[in-house]
Amino acid sequence: MRNRSIETDTYRYTHYGNADVLHAHRHPLDAPGFGQVAVEVIAAGVNHMDAFLRNGRESTWHDDPWPRGSGSDFAGIVTATGPGAERFRVGDDVIGHVRTGAHATHLVVDAANLVHKPAGLPWETAGGLYLAGATALRVLDDLRIGADDTVVISAAAGGVGSIQAQIARYRGAHVIGTCGDRNFDYLRQLGIRPVRYGEGIEDRIRRAAEGRRVTAFIDNFGKDGSDIARDLGVAPGRYRSSEDRRDVELDLLKDDPESVARGTATLAQVADLAAAGAFRLLVSGLYPFADIIYAFDDLEKLHARGKIVLATHPVTPYRVMRAREIHEAMA
């Protein structure tokens, strides 16, 4: 089945820079080719890696042609399918990933990049699931985090950390999460022991461990993690740095067929875990699609709780008040 003259707005940029280099480009959507599916995007996550690729800090794909697209996570509804994409039907709810180009109202992707959205999983959650969720899970699997572990996770209230900490908890680990004071209640609600980052953190982690030996350390934030892990006696093989996380993210964004298949398999696992209630992804910043610059500004302040997500059909054209602002206004 084919698209009938659908137009898409796609964020593109023609040179490296801050989020204000992003401009919506309207153009007719291609009909899906062999093995492809057209999707109307409902929600799309924003990630630090999107910003790093756009501002040139991450140069892995510096040979990509211009203009370039933005965004890797999305969830939406199938509007058309090409031959050989029979796994999906028009009207199916899907979650997907692309290396770039998810920040669009519609897109055409290979069916290999999609999984069915579990019924009941909210659109915002689904839209922000891929890069953060798959990174969180791969690092946990790589370290084989399980019930015998006492694991420290830095930036535990953030996009990757909040998913990672909850899945580790779901597997029975004792989880200590670093965060600012403002996120203590949030982490406690998830069964995670909050510890304030900054001077003296080793002592606070030891107290939070309550006599247990810290067996693993995941440094999402990328500050002093290896020194702290060493001082806590964590074996080098059970420490993962922010650079390790970068490698995981870049692997998840590769677009050769084998990498895409692995990425989609990890996405399916993450979606299943979300559907099973292993974690709840808090979306504390839901921005209308047109407000992408505000969404990235919010992300780059480095104090998001859970994820920041773009919505193509928000219930109000005004920026949705963020859960953490409500919390802080009440504090």
Ligand X SMILES: NC(=O)c1ccc[n+]([C@@H]2O[C@H](COP(=O)([O-])OP(=O)(O)OC[C@H]3O[C@@H](n4cnc5c(N)ncnc54)[C@H](OP(=O)(O)O)[C@@H]3O)[C@@H](O)[C@H]2O)c1
Interface residues with ligand X (CB under 6 A) are: 48-49, 132, 154-155, 157-161, 178-180, 182-183, 197, 220-223, 242-243, 245-246, 249, 299, 302-305
Per the DSSP assignment, residues forming a β-bridge with 106 are 40
How far apart, in whole angstroms, are the C-alpha atoms of residue 80 and residue 30? 10
For ligand X, the closer CB: 132 or 173: 132
In whole angstroms, the minimum distance from the beta carbon of 303 to ligand X comes to 4
For ligand X, the closer CB: 93 or 251: 251
In whole angstroms, the minimum distance from the beta carbon of 275 to ligand X comes to 22
> Do the beta carbons of residue 160 and residue 132 sit within 8 Å?
yes
Rounded (to 5) percent helix, strand, coil in the chain: 35, 25, 40
> Do the beta carbons of residue 48 and residue 307 sit within 8 Å?
no
In whole angstroms, the minimum distance from the beta carbon of 254 to ligand X comes to 15
Token output for 23: 């401009």
> Do the beta carbons of residue 271 and residue 95 sit within 8 Å?
yes
For ligand X, the closer CB: 29 or 152: 152
In whole angstroms, the minimum distance from the beta carbon of 53 to ligand X comes to 10
In whole angstroms, the minimum distance from the beta carbon of 108 to ligand X comes to 27
302: DSSP letter: T
DSSP 3-state of 93: strand
Provide the CA 174 distance to its chain's centre, in angstroms: 23
In whole angstroms, the minimum distance from the beta carbon of 34 to ligand X comes to 34
Per-residue 3-state assignment (H helix, E strand, C coil) for 11-39 = EEECCCCCHHHCEEEEEECCCCCCCEEEE
For ligand X, the closer CB: 220 or 266: 220
For ligand X, the closer CB: 96 or 133: 133
In whole angstroms, the minimum distance from the beta carbon of 69 to ligand X comes to 19
For ligand X, the closer CB: 81 or 125: 125
For ligand X, the closer CB: 60 or 116: 60
Position with the least CB separation from ligand X: 158
In whole angstroms, the minimum distance from the beta carbon of 256 to ligand X comes to 21
> What is the residue-wise DSSP string for 224-272?
SHHHHHHHTT--GGGEE-HHHHHHHHHHHH--SHHHHHHHHHHHHHHHH
The set of residues, in sequence order, having a beta carbon less than 8 Å from that of 198 and lying 6+ positions away, is none
**111 burial level (CB within 10 Å; 0-12, 13-18, 19+):** buried
Output 84-87 pairs: Cβ under 8 A, ≥24 positions apart.
84/34, 84/35, 84/111, 85/32, 85/34, 85/35, 85/36, 85/37, 85/111, 87/111
For ligand X, the closer CB: 38 or 132: 132
Pairing state between β 114-116 and 68-69: unpaired
For ligand X, the closer CB: 82 or 158: 158
In whole angstroms, the minimum distance from the beta carbon of 58 to ligand X comes to 7
How far apart, in whole angstroms, are the C-alpha atoms of residue 91 and residue 69? 25
